[in-house]
Amino acid sequence: MRTFVDEIAAHAAREPGRVAVSTPGGELTYAELTARIDALAGTLAARGARAETVCAVAVARGVDAVIAVAAAVRCGAAFLTLDVEQPPARLAALVRSGGADLLVTTEALADRLRLPVPGRLVLLDRPEPGDAGGTPPGGPPDGRALAYVSHTSGSTGEPSPVLVEHRSLDSYLRFVARDFRLGPDTVALQVAPLGYDASVRDTFAPLLAGGRLVVVPRSAVLRPDEFGAVVREHGVNALLSVVPSFLAFLAGRPDGAGLLEGVRLVVSSGESLRPFLRAGGRAVVEDRLVNQYGPTECTMTSTRYDVPADPVTDADIVGTPIDGVVVRLLDEDLRPVPEGAVGEVCVGGVGVARGYRGLPARTAECFVPDPAGPPGARLYRTGDLASDGPGGLRLLGRRDRQVKIRGYRVDPAEVEGALLAHPGVTGAVVTAAEDGQGRVYLVAHVTGDLDGTGNGALRAHLAATLPPHLMPRRFERLAELPTTRSGKADRRALADAVAGAGGRAGGPVRAADAAGHENAAALAEVRS
């Protein structure tokens, strides 16, 4: 099959001097980009990379990360991108569960992270003799071969590795380029952090279309003044991975509209867009604003909705299925619900992933036969509840405990498990609450001998294994956890207690927590 990397090479053949990537350190043409991709792909192939090989990419944000991912695809292998700012212990767990066979990194990061990847290291800053000038293997990859591994939170409390195939990734990127009308005049800012699947979209959809990708340090993306300066300096006209909380942050500034001046396309995902729209934020986006929805298990995006200039603000509308995707609203027995009724969102079609690596029981539970599809067709049960209405799908909540925190899908069990690993904690329940600006955050309710343990110490304990978006904003210390009649922790009572203390209850997850669910979220680290 023809991949997005083949399209990059085709642009290089037609217009070798066209700029592909702009960075603070200079520019890279399509010819230069393709040459470096092919050289690294040859090195990976010489180290044994082929179909089903997982190449972990632990590289700082920049051109090298773009090249490393594309090189894995070029040699028919798969990639697993890592956010090197996360705790080393967590990254080690990700490469183990993701089945990484090779590691692409730098000497300094290899020494600092010490990731348990069995194959020989591929050090970008210390190539071995014979590494340079390698030739990538010939022939296109099989469409059903593995393209990438992306982790998502699960009910087990551990991140679950999702296996996405080349046919799914290729179909999705081509849809993005086509539906958003990307082309040679597109100038897209890389927004999503590495390690999350949304970074694949905002990095490679513009390059597939022959556009220009702008890559700057994270600080320049997260700080409004620097963000605005980057948009102006490079003529950025497309943002493909922005979370609503960052849009709301921009809209709340006096110069908010000016920061997005010239940006013709803003694609939002990862959390509810409704609070932003209710606050009148649609006026900040001068042209096209698209709200996307979809789980990691379905190749990032399953539906999209073009938000009109005068938007609906009393519903979380995520629109209609993208090309090659079907969405069904089903009951517990996988039967269609009546028109207008609430059902579970079940997604089928080309985007559905292979399943979870090493988790056959969970794969069988979540990836089920499609009773209305052709032989062999499968559905992914998202756990989201929705109904159909004007504009398409309207999200209404979840049937489990998962929440959305600054664009990331989170299962509180993961945080609870990390808390219980602290020697002083005897009980832990994590609930969701909402601040006055509609932002969801985590509250940790803990018991134990913690008189000499401050909140800072608990945060330091969690930071050793968890990324920032899993860090509770509040810690509530209790003599004992309230329980229900069955003896289970009474999460509703805990959430209500937070609400009574001045917050808004998290309790059962509302639609605002479930809208969208790409592990994306580019600008997700905006601090409250």
Please report, as a single letter, which amino acid is at residue 199.
S
Q: Which tokens is 114 given?
A: 């010490």
Q: What residues pair up with 170 in beta bridges, in sequence order? A: none
- Which CATH code fits 403-508? 3.30.300.30
CA distances from 144 to 165, 316, 350, 351, 472 (A): 5, 34, 11, 12, 39
- How many other CB atoms are found less than 10 A from the CB of residue 160? 23
CA distances from 159 to 98, 115, 524 (A): 10, 17, 18
Q: Per CATH, is 163-400+509-528 categorized as 3.40.50.12780?
A: yes
Please report, as a single letter, which amino acid is at residue 517.
H
Please identify which residue in the block is written with the tokens 């059902």. 343
Q: 44-60 burial, b for 16+ CB within 10 Å, e for fewer?
A: bbbbebeeebbbbbbbb
CB 55 within 8 A of CB 75: no
Compute the distance between CA of residue 323 and CA of residue 260 in angstroms, rounded to an integer.
29
For residue 7, what is the enclosing H or E element?
Answer: helix 4-14
Q: pLDDT digit string (tens) for 201-245?
A: 999 999 999 999 999 998 899 888 999 999 999 999 999 999 887
pLDDT for the residue 30: 98
Q: Which tokens is 526 given?
A: 């905006």
Nearest to 526 by CA among 248, 195, 291, 215: 248
Q: Is 314 exposed, middle or buried (0-12, 13-18, 19+ CB in 10 A)?
A: exposed
Distance between the two ends of the chain, CA-based, in angstroms? Answer: 45
pLDDT for the residue 230: 96
Compute the distance between CA of residue 166 and CA of residue 265 in angstroms, rounded to an integer.
27
CA atoms within 13 A on the CB side of 8: 33
CA atoms within 13 A on the CB side of 106: 10
Q: What residues pair up with 405 in beta bridges, in sequence order? A: 408
CB 268 within 8 A of CB 292: yes
DSSP-based three-state secondary structure for 380:
strand
CA distances from 52 to 97, 149, 501 (A): 15, 11, 52
Domain boundaries, the chain: 163-400+509-528, 403-508
Compute the distance between CA of residue 409 and CA of residue 289 in angstroms, rounded to an integer.
22
Compute the distance between CA of residue 181 and CA of residue 184 in angstroms, rounded to an integer.
10
pLDDT for the residue 318: 96
pTM of the model: 0.82
Write out residues in the chain with pLDDT < 70, as ranges: 130-139, 154-157, 401, 407, 484-488, 500-528
CA distances from 182 to 144, 178, 186, 212, 494 (A): 26, 7, 6, 10, 47
The DSSP-derived string for 247-304 is HHHHHTSTTHHHHTTT--EEEE-SS-SHHHHHTTGGGGS-SEEEEEE-BGGGTS-SEE
DSSP-based three-state secondary structure for 494:
helix
User: What DSSP designation does 515 have?
Assistant: S
Q: Is 288 exposed, middle or buried (0-12, 13-18, 19+ CB in 10 A)?
A: middle
For residue 381, what is the enclosing H or E element?
Answer: strand 378-389
Q: Which tokens is 99 given?
A: 């089945």
User: What DSSP designation does 297 have?
Assistant: G
Please report, as a single letter, which amino acid is at residue 397.
G
CB 353 within 8 A of CB 152: no
DSSP-based three-state secondary structure for 336:
strand
CA distances from 422 to 447, 464, 490 (A): 11, 11, 22
Q: Is 243 exposed, middle or buried (0-12, 13-18, 19+ CB in 10 A)?
A: buried
